[in-house]
């Protein structure tokens, strides 16, 4: 009798957590910007570099990959599908840690305000949270 193999699954909380697990990096900070739909930003680090990933989320399984794939009873997604998704999203920015540590608050703010993060109260709060977490690298 042939045994059915179980698909490998990984437990994830959000996109940032999934990227960290798939890429085997440390998650520095993850923030969402929007309400029913919007953008997310994950800042990750490996031994030598800082990676900024930005993408979009939606409010339902028809417009959001994680909503469609995640089993909300177990908080798991299919590992192969997660690897495919992560591979399709390219890092917006990659810096050596030494350079990331030297970025000023203005440089980080200017970089993050490009594109999806418009400058409003919510965007300012998201950017402020990211800057706060990145400032811990300098310590």
**pLDDT tens digit string along 97-124?**
888 888 888 888 787 776 555 556 777 7
Asked, for residue 4, whether it belongs to a domain, the answer is no
What is the pTM for the complete model shown? 0.85
Asked, for residue 113, whether it belongs to a domain, the answer is yes
Asked, for residue 102, whether it belongs to a domain, the answer is yes
Q: What is the band of 22 on the pLDDT scale with cuts at 50, 70, 90?
A: very high
For 126, the token pair is: 């998201």
Number of domains in the chain: 1
Asked, for residue 81, whether it belongs to a domain, the answer is yes
Asked, for residue 121, whether it belongs to a domain, the answer is yes
Q: Would you state the pLDDT for residue 42?
A: 93
- Pick from 61, 57, 63, 76: nearest CA to 15: 57
Asked, for residue 122, whether it belongs to a domain, the answer is yes
Asked, for residue 2, whether it belongs to a domain, the answer is no
76-78 and 9-11 strand pairing: antiparallel
Range of the domain at 42: 9-138
């Amino acid at each position: 009798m042939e045994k059915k193999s179980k698909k490998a699954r990984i437990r994830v909380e959000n996109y940032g957590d999934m990227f960290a697990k798939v890429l085997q990096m440390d998650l520095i900070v993850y923030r969402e910007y929007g309400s029913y739909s919007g953008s997310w930003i994950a800042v990750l680090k490996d031994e030598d570099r800082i990676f900024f990933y930005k993408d979009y989320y939606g409010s339902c399984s028809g417009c959001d990959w994680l909503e469609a794939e995640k089993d909300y009873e177990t908080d798991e997604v299919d590992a192969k599908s997660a690897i495919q998704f992560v591979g399709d999203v390219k890092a917006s920015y990659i810096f050596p840690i030494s350079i990331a540590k030297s970025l000023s608050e203005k440089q980080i703010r200017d970089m993050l305000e490009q594109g999806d993060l418009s400058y409003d109260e919510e965007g300012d709060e998201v950017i402020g949270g990211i800057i706060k977490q990145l400032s811990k690298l300098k310590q």
